[in-house]
Amino acid sequence: MPSSTMSLQEMLFSQGFGTRRSCLGLAEQGYVACMQAGEWLKTQDPGQILDMEEAMPFEVQGVRWFYYSKAYLMLHKPTGTECSQKPSTWPSIYSLLPTSLRQRPVKSAVQGVQAVGRLDQDTTGLLLLTDDGQFIHRMSSPKHHVPKVYQVITENEMTATVCEKLHLGVVLNDDPKPVKAHDCRLIEPKHLELTLTEGKYHQVKRMLAAVGHHVVGLHRSRIGNLQLPDNLLPGQWRWLSAQDIQQLWMK
């Protein structure tokens, strides 16, 4: 059964296709078609009432989209990009997304999807984006202990004692309380798999520095039980499926 009804103009606006006036123009010029009851509906009436369902297909100027009341995405963050709307040195990760995702209206002053946490400009890997504030809090808050797995490459070779020290906890210079690894495995002499359940500033690099090692490569491979797919290349993004979201909650 449809979850709600919405006018064509409001549907376009909710999905980030510009101002209400711009969405009015797209509809009136006949640039939009929507799937309704298994058939394509093309109308120039911006007030046309639509039966809305999650993942309902629609087309704008011949490009296929899907309606989502909330956006949940994964991005394979490439190196040399900043997780900022206003980057200082490197290109923004938001430039990798289509305009409609950057313009989705939200209740706060900031529009569009937002990154769930940040990765440094030289760090690659799995990054989540959404316009759901509760989801951001659920995934980011340390009290929820969502595990995040990193592949760490160091300049010099490590031994098993590195994992032992990280398990016991290391002290960072801005916090007297020891920071501990949730899990740690030495894959190769210069390759460590590190799992954390909190996200302090430059935490992985600072933890490794505390045990005498310099990080030269850092990649986030997993959040919760959600693995970065092998076929999602650096710079590419895709919608999260219901199964993906379920995997995020599993510990």
By annotation, the residues acting in catalysis are 120
Residue 12's nearest CA partner among 60, 54, 78 is 60
Provide the 8-state DSSP code for 143: G
Q: What is the 3-state secondary structure (H, E, C) of 73-110?
A: EEEEECCCCECCCCCCCCCEHHHHCCHHHHCCCCCCCC
d(CA 128, CA 126): 7
Q: List CB contacts of 141: < 8 A, sequence separation 6 or more.
A: none
Q: List CB contacts of 235: < 8 A, sequence separation 6 or more.
A: 76, 78, 96
> Are the C-beta atoms of residues 73 and 246 closer than 8 Å to each other?
no
Tokens 């954390």 correspond to 196
